[in-house]
Amino acid sequence: MTDSRPPAVLTILLWLALEAIAAWQVRTPEGASVLATWIRAVARPLTWSAQQINQLTTDLGLGTTDLRRVILDNRSLRLEIDGLAARNLLLEEDLAALREAAGLLGDGLEFAKGAIVARCTYRDIAAGTMEVRTEAAVYLPRDTPAVTAGGLVGRVLRSEGSRHWLQLITHGAAAAAVQSFDTSVQGLVVGTGGETVTVAYVPRQARLERGQVLITSGGDGIFPPGIAAATVIRVRETDDPFLEIGAAPTADLRNARVVVLLPLWSATSGGGTE
């Protein structure tokens, strides 16, 4: 026996249709259809939801734009901070260089008259060369001595405007006449092409010890006397009439910030002040 009852879904749909027809026919006191009132009641929250979603979408878009702007501003600020930090380091370096130069000139060097302060801009320790720059363009005679807080640096090889090139005392072709403080030991500091020097022509009977500082004697006519030049690091006797002596420059050639140039003491002036 078959079930002749209509399906529940059809029953519900038929009931909804009848309710809609009835609601369409029934009027409110204002004369509007009850069905229209129902439709408006259902549509109002949907419209409000759509408006809120649209506002949220707009706010998210504005927020994303603002966030991008904040990120870009943050990157800009970071770059500015990094730039300020770099400039601060340069200023600290300049201040340290000025203090070093002031201290060097205040040491009362006998030949400091006419001295010129120059900044070290490039150095090649292996090649035994250094480039320095003066604040203003100035001509420096060849062989103008260069010293720093630690002692002798070398001599000027070439001068062009505010740029000047030095031969360090460690250069393989460099040499400087030196002596002990009491003048009992005389010798010649000779560059090795590395970071050290040797002291040549010191007789075997000379009393020279490790750690002893040798100063320029002025006998070479290039460097003024009395400037610290090298510290003895090794003394060895040989069959030759001279000691084999290894030494290190007293000046910190690798880290020197400034040098003082002595143009009034040069080989062209005969080893004296002009």
Are 274 and 263 in contact by the 8 Å Cβ rule? The answer is no
Are 162 and 135 in contact by the 8 Å Cβ rule? The answer is yes
Are 152 and 249 in contact by the 8 Å Cβ rule? The answer is yes
Mutual angle of helices 8-25 and 34-105, in 10-degree steps: 100
What is the CA angle 44-47-50, rounded to 5?
150
Q: How far apart are CA 172 and CA 198, in angstroms?
A: 10
Q: Which SS3 state, helix, strand or coil, does residue 194 take? A: coil
Show Cβ contacts of residue 243 under 8 Å, excluding neighbours closer than 6 positions. 199, 202, 203, 204, 206, 208, 235, 236, 237
pLDDT in tens, the chain (274 residues): 455 556 777 777 666 666 666 656 666 666 666 666 767 666 677 777 777 788 878 877 777 887 888 888 888 888 888 888 887 876 776 677 666 666 666 555 555 667 888 889 999 999 999 999 998 999 999 999 999 888 899 999 999 999 999 999 999 999 999 999 999 999 999 999 999 999 999 998 888 889 999 999 999 989 989 899 999 999 998 888 999 999 999 999 998 888 889 888 754 444 444 4
pTM of the model: 0.63
DSSP secondary structure string, 53-66? HHHHHHHHHHHHHH
- C-alpha distance across the termini of the chain, in Å: 139
What residue has token string 């001599």?
A: 155
Q: How far apart are CA 254 and CA 72, in angstroms?
A: 41
Look up residue 199 and give its amino acid: V
Structure tokens at 245: 């002596």
Show Cβ contacts of residue 139 under 8 Å, excluding neighbours closer than 6 positions. 159
Are 216 and 223 in contact by the 8 Å Cβ rule? The answer is yes
Are 263 and 144 in contact by the 8 Å Cβ rule? The answer is yes
Q: How far apart are CA 188 and CA 200, in angstroms?
A: 5
Q: For residue 193, what pLDDT is reported?
A: 92
Q: Tell me the HSE value of 20 on the side-chain side, using a 13 A CA sphere.
A: 7
Our CA dihedral for 179, 262, 249, 122, rounded to 10 degrees, sits at -160
Closest among 218, 216, 149 to 189, alpha carbons compared? 216
Number of residues that make up the chain: 274
Left if phi > 0, otherwise alpha if psi is -120 to 50, otherwise beta: which for 142? Answer: beta
Q: How far apart are CA 82 and CA 65, in angstroms?
A: 26
